[in-house]
Structure 1
Amino acid sequence: MPFRTRAAVSGAVLATAAALLCPAAAAAAPAETGWSAAPAPGDGAGPGAQHRPYFYLEGAPGTVMNDRLSLSNPTGRAVTVRLHSSDSGAWMALAAKEVKVPPRTRASVPFTVTVPRDAAPGGHPGALIATSGGKGGGRAAVPVHLRVTGPTLSALTVENVSVRGQGDAAVIRYTLVNRGNTVLTPRLTVRADGVFGPVLRRAARTLPLALRPGQGVDLTEKWPDPPGLDVVDLRLTVTARGGAHGSASASYAAVPWGATAGAALALAAGAGGL
């Protein structure tokens, strides 16, 4: 996913000077020092609009969305809070990077989310992080669930398959490339057939990786007991959610080292007798 860092937008940080007569909402992420951070109450009268446990934003590539972070300080002293974003938060721009919240006051910090035009459809988690410095400082993280709308394409290819012997074993090398626009978790199946039948069967298993759109990774498979003398056709097949499917093959000629050395000596002897 190509993230684009944006400069902070201009805009005033809104502070509510009224005393906080009740504790902060349960949706808030409290810091150890008493202040808390949470999504600002949304529009509407329902409890879901007033107390949001996290931000949820949805839009197509190229969309610009706005929301507000609420910082509550019920204590008797002012608190300076620093703000930044993480993960898909690289698409976020805060109106302020540092906010001083007076005692018994709530500050509202606007921010925007700009979805890149080449953003892949699907979920993109992020967070707004608030920290207060000094002795006894605290930290709070407010999740941001961003969903990019649009059609998804799942496509996966296997490339550059090769087999190379290493002593009595062999190593299978290959490259996986995500050709679609959604994150994929591949499943790999390995099979190999020699002159006299099957020599390797590995059932489909999930690989411990998540391929981003356009990403390619070089991987290896250990083959501890390949045939000592055979000509093998190897095939790798990968699948992933959404119908992604790819396969590729390679040939492997297994010849014992002794036979190779003997043939070389015989050729050398024949050449010497000429």
Structure 2
Amino acid sequence: MTPSRSRRPHGRAPRTARSTAALLLAALLTALSSGSTPAAAEPVAAVGTGGGNSSWSVRPAGTAARTAFVMDSAPGVVVKDAVRVSNLSDAPISFQVYGSDAYNTPRDGALAYRQAGEAQTGLGGWLTLRTNALVIPPRRAADIPFTLNVPADAAPGSHVGGIVALNNAVEQAGEASGVDVGIQRAIAVRIQLTVAGPLTPGLAVRSVRVRHHAAGTPFGGARATLTYTVVNTGNAALQPTVSPDVRGLFGWRHRHFPDRTLPLLLPGQRADITADWPDAPGLDYLTATVHVTAPGLPGTSAESGRVVVSWPTIGAVAGTLTVLAVALDRLRRRRPGGIGSLAGDSS
């Protein structure tokens, strides 16, 4: 579980309350929509850096073996459980606690959670906590019961969200553009609910491309980037593993990128992946192939090809060949029996 950050301006007289609120909202939206939001399955402590140390954890109540809520339910059922918020610091902490929808950020597919002010249209909207605000004394914990009201028309398959504990304290984090900046930290614990019904897991790889950047000097090393998109086309949450490979015109393998396991990819969500290739060839026909697998699912692949060209190298080769051709032509003309020799005999 990674701490999320939101920037909040405070303490500058020239700024109006309206602009301060707007900056806070924009920064909070950015923070809670980024890969640094509460994103992992296992909760860890968040450690504050301003206004005194503060740390806390969020996890399912009860046995310590549970690091996330994993549930199965039929449509129309009410599921009950409890979440434990622990204050691990030596000072009281004030929290806002709320249910949230999970989603994958397009860049790299990091699992993130929507903020409290956003519309919760999925599992986050089905959650009701006994309390949404509390102060926990030092070195104490609070168990908060909650109910999950699964709609009667809930679609079969995976529904993922979380319970977020946001520390109400604002930590000073310096200054940006003449405004004092503060951060708020949050942790989420994941809830993964499988609604009974037909499961149709599926993955697809799309938009495989090699972007080539030739060196500015002849025979200089080129660099490239491989980009592709992994899409969850089914109704089950999956954790894909991708295996990218690039080969040349005659099947010679130029680069095998290390296998990469992506974060949990939710139904209908995607992950846009970019892999750097610093030692790409300057001239070839490249075929990029990306193979994706997930536990219990047959693998699938996609590929694309393109010619890569280094114009400085081609220019240097063409110039060299031209010089060689001219030199060979002059040498041929000066040989005995050549054109120049015959002309001399006739005179």
Q: Do 1:119 and 1:148's aligned partners in 2 also have CA atoms closer than 8 Å?
A: no
1:157 aligns with 2:204: yes
CA apart distance, 1:179: 0.2
Match 2:304 to one of 240, 250, 253: 250
Residue type of the alignment partner of 1:153: T
1:35 corresponds to: none
1:189 aligns with 2:235: no
Residue type of the alignment partner of 1:93: T
Match 1:91 to one of 123, 126, 134: 126
CA displacement, residues 28-71 of structure 1 (integer Å, 9 cap, x when unaligned): xxxxxxxxxx98xxxxxxxxxxx8888886412x323154879x
User: Would the alpha carbon gap of residues 93 and 220 (structure 1) be closer, same or farther in structure 2, given more than 3 Å must change?
Assistant: same
CA apart distance, 1:111: 5.3
CA displacement, residues 6-34 of structure 1 (integer Å, 9 cap, x when unaligned): xxxxxxxxxxxxxxxxxxxxxxxxxxxxx
Match 1:59 to one of 69, 73, 79: 73
TM, length-normalised to structure 2? 0.43
CA apart distance, 1:176: 1.3
Once residues 190 and 293 of structure 2 are traced to their aligned partners in structure 1, the CA distance between those partners, rounded to angstroms, is 30
Once residues 58 and 130 of structure 1 are traced to their aligned partners in structure 2, the CA distance between those partners, rounded to angstroms, is 27
Match 2:157 to one of 121, 129, 135: 121
Once residues 68 and 229 of structure 1 are traced to their aligned partners in structure 2, the CA distance between those partners, rounded to angstroms, is 60
Q: Do 1:199 and 1:226's aligned partners in 2 also have CA atoms closer than 8 Å?
A: no
Once residues 70 and 204 of structure 2 are traced to their aligned partners in structure 1, the CA distance between those partners, rounded to angstroms, is 33
User: Would the alpha carbon gap of residues 227 and 208 (structure 1) be closer, same or farther in structure 2, given more than 3 Å must change?
Assistant: same
Q: Do 2:160 and 2:266's aligned partners in 1 also have CA atoms closer than 8 Å?
A: no
CA displacement, residues 56-110 of structure 1 (integer Å, 9 cap, x when unaligned): 86412x323154879xxxxxxxxxx9984434554212466679xxxxxxxxx98
Q: Do 1:67 and 1:110's aligned partners in 2 also have CA atoms closer than 8 Å?
A: yes
Q: Do 1:124 and 1:146's aligned partners in 2 also have CA atoms closer than 8 Å?
A: yes
User: Would the alpha carbon gap of residues 174 and 97 (structure 1) be closer, same or farther in structure 2, given more than 3 Å must change?
Assistant: closer
Once residues 310 and 132 of structure 2 are traced to their aligned partners in structure 1, the CA distance between those partners, rounded to angstroms, is 67
Once residues 68 and 220 of structure 1 are traced to their aligned partners in structure 2, the CA distance between those partners, rounded to angstroms, is 40
Once residues 57 and 199 of structure 1 are traced to their aligned partners in structure 2, the CA distance between those partners, rounded to angstroms, is 45
Match 1:148 to one of 194, 197, 201: 194
User: Would the alpha carbon gap of residues 218 and 66 (structure 1) be closer, same or farther in structure 2, given more than 3 Å must change?
Assistant: closer
Structure in which a larger fraction of residues adopt strand: 1
- Aligned-residue identity in percent: 29
* SS of residue matched to 2:268: coil
Q: Do 1:120 and 1:148's aligned partners in 2 also have CA atoms closer than 8 Å?
A: yes
2:115 corresponds to: none
Residue type of the alignment partner of 1:121: G
Q: Do 2:154 and 2:195's aligned partners in 1 also have CA atoms closer than 8 Å?
A: no
Gapped regions of structure 2 (runs ≥ 5): 1-59, 84-93, 101-122, 135-143, 168-186, 215-221, 320-347
Residue type of the alignment partner of 2:260: T
Once residues 207 and 213 of structure 1 are traced to their aligned partners in structure 2, the CA distance between those partners, rounded to angstroms, is 17
TM, length-normalised to structure 1? 0.53
2:225 corresponds to: 171
CA displacement, residues 153-181 of structure 1 (integer Å, 9 cap, x when unaligned): 22111111111212311111111111011
User: Would the alpha carbon gap of residues 178 and 226 (structure 1) be closer, same or farther in structure 2, given more than 3 Å must change?
Assistant: same
User: Would the alpha carbon gap of residues 214 and 118 (structure 1) be closer, same or farther in structure 2, given more than 3 Å must change?
Assistant: farther
Gapped regions of structure 1 (runs ≥ 5): 1-37, 40-50, 71-80, 100-108, 132-140, 266-274
User: Would the alpha carbon gap of residues 145 and 161 (structure 1) be closer, same or farther in structure 2, given more than 3 Å must change?
Assistant: closer
User: Would the alpha carbon gap of residues 118 and 224 (structure 1) be closer, same or farther in structure 2, given more than 3 Å must change?
Assistant: farther
Q: Do 1:170 and 1:223's aligned partners in 2 also have CA atoms closer than 8 Å?
A: yes
Q: Do 1:120 and 1:213's aligned partners in 2 also have CA atoms closer than 8 Å?
A: no
User: Would the alpha carbon gap of residues 208 and 97 (structure 1) be closer, same or farther in structure 2, given more than 3 Å must change?
Assistant: closer
Measured on the aligned residues, the alpha-carbon RMSD in Å equals 4.5
Q: How do 1:8-27 residues align onto structure 2 when only pairs under 5 Å count? A: none
Structure in which a larger fraction of residues adopt helix: 2
* SS of residue matched to 2:280: coil
Once residues 152 and 125 of structure 1 are traced to their aligned partners in structure 2, the CA distance between those partners, rounded to angstroms, is 19
